[in-house]
Amino acid sequence: MTGRNHRAPGSGRPRDLRELRDVVRSDGKVGGFDLPEGVFANGEDWHPATRRWWDSWRRSPQGVKMMTAPDWDYLLDTALLHHQMWQSGGKNSERAAEIRMRVAAFGATPADRARLRMEIEVPEDFPVGDRGSDNVASLDARRRRIPTAPGGPLPGKTTEAPPPF
């Protein structure tokens, strides 16, 4: 007997679109291309944060999805905005909103990936972060540099718990 909205198992569109996920796996390759040299008229080089940002996109599982030259050209334009934001020392922070919108299209954050119905399959041995980076502060080293008063906490600091109200 055939009824409305009846489908044979395994045919047609899934009943719940939330079940659809595009699983992206890293192929271990580096995508795209190196940042081009000689882009800036004054001879300056790409900001180190932009180089790191670009390389992380090239090595990311999302980089597997960027298969066409226009995808990488769009990201290169975004890298220019990223460079300008970092070069300005924060004076060009209005570019951050544009950068955020552009990288959202590639699934930069967990929220972006959820909206795109993209799921990243990360292998167990996937390196996270760059422990050797000079741009990352070590909290342990910072704690060692904080002066402590002999026999107790620093002035103005108490070891008592704050009042419960």
pLDDT per residue as tens digits for the range 29-40:
888 899 999 999
The pTM of the whole model exceeds 0.95: no
Q: What is the per-residue pLDDT across 96-131, written as a single tens digit (0 to 9) for each?
A: 999 999 999 999 999 999 998 888 887 666 566 555
Distance CA 137, CA 144 (A): 12
CA nearest to 115, candidates 128, 126, 106, 123: 106
Which residues, at least 6 apart from 89, have a Cβ–Cβ distance to it below 8 Å? none
Confidence of residue 12 (pLDDT cuts 50, 70, 90): low
Any idea which of 17-21, 61-65, 88-92, 132-136 has the lowest mean pLDDT? 132-136
For residues 116 and 107, the answer to whether their CB atoms sit within 8 Å is: yes
Domain boundaries, the chain: 69-123
CA nearest to 52, candidates 22, 28, 94, 86: 86
Bridge partners of 25? 121
Q: What angle do CA 150, 156, 160 make, to 5 degrees?
A: 85
